[in-house]
Structure 1
Amino acid sequence: MHRLHHWFAEYPVLVGLAAAAAITLLVAAVLAVTMHRAGVSLKPLVWIFVLIGLIGLPQAAVHVLDVIRFEQQRADAQPAQAAAVLQPVPWELVFGHNADPSLMTDPRAALAPVLGEAAIAVLSFTAEGESALAARFADARAATRALDAYGNFFQFALARGSDRAGWTARRYGGGGEWNHVVVAGNELYAWTGPSREAVIARRERVLGSWQPPPPTPPQRAHEARLVSGSLSGPALLGFAALNLAAVVAWFFWGAAWAARTDPGPDAHPMPASVLRLQVLAAYAGGGPVQADAAPDGSILLDWNYADARWFDLMHLHRLQRTQRLVLNFDEAERTVRVREYWSRIDTSAGYGGLRLAWQHSSGIELFRVEEERHYGIQLDAAGRPSGELVHATRFDSRLLKQPAIDRVTAAGWRWQPTLVSAPRWMRWLTG
């Protein structure tokens, strides 16, 4: 009885695992739909959730295996024999001599969640307001299912007992009357009364002595044989090392795979010198991105997509947002390896002092669309009011990268963003 309650009491992490799985699936579905509508590859989504799975699934698997092992050992230690000892008795004994025949009724409709499988059931009352229930089922298993449903339906609290000997508890979370419910063969009996002693006395008059278990929660003497407890130190360290290696490998290799764009099958490879000129020409139309050739043969793509000054509430503000791509051409592998950098500078001065926030990062930005609005008296580069009250900025990583990606792949080369500038022997991992 109370199997789910027992699972959650012993393993509350199961509730967290179920909630985490549901939230993860929901977020994945929303992101997949959003990215598909925006025409963005779903490979970044695959990379992120495989990474989450490599970290979380081994831990979840151990918890689930613990539950399965615990239930197996619990069943071996105390088999569910609810009907193996107690035998059905005449219902007149269940109801008692003081039951009022005029108040006996068929409760199956009112207690359908409990008695839905019952072939026959009778609920009796006494003049003192106590009740007794007797119900007959097709077999002992159906009676045991009704026993479980009875405790859940009446919200048992302070429960003591077992499926084999019967349960004594208080209804409605501890605020109702006392109950004793038990299975005998293919029949279910239940008595209510004002106290624990009263319902136990009625049960013992009908079915004999009942010795309640100690009031402490059930002890898990076999806990050391659970999966998590049976992992030795070396085995645990070995598994942790393998799992960490898999996570690190997927982090680098998966990120490179998710950001990679391969050339089309019909593309004809071009020399690196021609490709450099084509990439520079793609940004020569006076757009927001500035393309420059570096002395080492790489190309720098810079987008200062936010540079604003404004005054509001006795404060002068300044912000700058810059995104940079460094394109390195590997002619031997027909690959353009891309390192990405971005910086943010926010300053304000006025009443309360000076505040400066600066951030510089590098890595792989799979996709990003960002919009900002700043309200106040806008200032031009010379510090004079420009007449505007709102400054809006918008950044879309596709506008920065896509012209270069198109030129690179059309030239028969691979576009390969990387997290680090790795030596050649490590490029199988980093891209």
Structure 2
Amino acid sequence: MDELYRMILVDDEDEVRGRISSKISGESGFQVVASAGNGYDALELIEKYNPHVVLTDIKMPFVDGIELARTIKRDFPTTRVAFITGFDEFEYAREAVELHVTSYLTKPVTQNDISRFLDKLKIELDEEFKEKYNLDILRQRYEQSIPLIIDNYFTSYLVSSKSSKSEDIENLRQHGISLDDKKYIMAFVQTERNQSSKDVIDYEKLKLSVRSVIQSILERHGYDFYSFHFNNGIVLVVKENSLNFLRKVDPVFYEMVKMVEQYLNVSIDIGVSNLHCRFSELRAAYEESEEALGFSRFLNAGRIVYINQLEKDRPKVLSLSDSEINDIMSNVKFGTDMEIRNVMESLKLNALRDSKTITNYRPYIINMVNILVNFSESIGVNLDEVLQEDVLEKMTLFRNLEQMFDWVLSVIWIGNPF
């Protein structure tokens, strides 16, 4: 320890206290911060100075050394106690063994006695401090890592086989996570990747910031929740806390969208599951929230989509017929600019006409991606290299069909010169 160890002297004889105190210098590693003539006064000083060591006489009026040591052990367990004892008191001092008092000074006290006593005591305290400091560091690091540990258990549960799920549930319960006491919804939050977060590390930092913002909002509104990173997004498990829970939590999700947009200058989309209960329904809740999030980019419901909104409508799938695909490919390869534009506008109008009842755009997107890839291959061009981004990933990021069609048309214009 770099600082001096704090010591309090307790003896009913002023002369003894003064003599011992004068023999303790800073070079010994100790400093006498206070002294007392009896046990009562000593206890007040201990509370005030929080010493590392109390050096006390055994025989004193009011509260003797043994009783003082017993009180210190009970109320100040980190403070060490050492005794000053005369030869005729040694057997009496043996009672202190049960109090873990192992250091003694025997009267009359000489400078050599003090030096040897302090050297031995400093070695013991140094070892104790080193061990305690290391344990504190380990405990602190463990406590700091608990959120990451919980993240890993949630992730393991969602991806693991059925046989290992019970172990993940038990680990989560040991960390205070319970899904059996109340119903819950799961929200899957995805952060838009903009120009400032194209780098992988920057994007991960951005997601951490988004998670921090949405957690603070849920905490401020008094919700009991868990959050973790999963599948390139943020998962929220929010427990039901009142009647009309879904109606009340909706403006909280909206607040998340606006706060992230205002303070982090980035957009988020949120897919929300139905109400569930118990750990066994966690996977189903995630699949619902992910499905809702997948629809959010092409529905007119804004950036927050509830799976129960989609289930109210009869599912309708949007896809391209074989004749439409052949018509597009023929015009892209051999048609004029006007013919290409006309066929794309016709497709867009047909798609937009049914957009309010469409709940699955994925086949349509896949069709479009295949058209672009086939077109680029026919002219000997690697589309990903030309665009410097993944085509399928790009197509899934558009918020509406108009944006997608405009982008597809721009890609065709890029490809035509080749």
Give TM-score scaled by structure 1 length.
0.19
Q: Which structure carries more strand by proportion?
A: 1
Give TM-score scaled by structure 2 length.
0.19
Higher relative contact order, structure no. (Cα contacts within 8 Å, ≥ 6 residues apart): 1
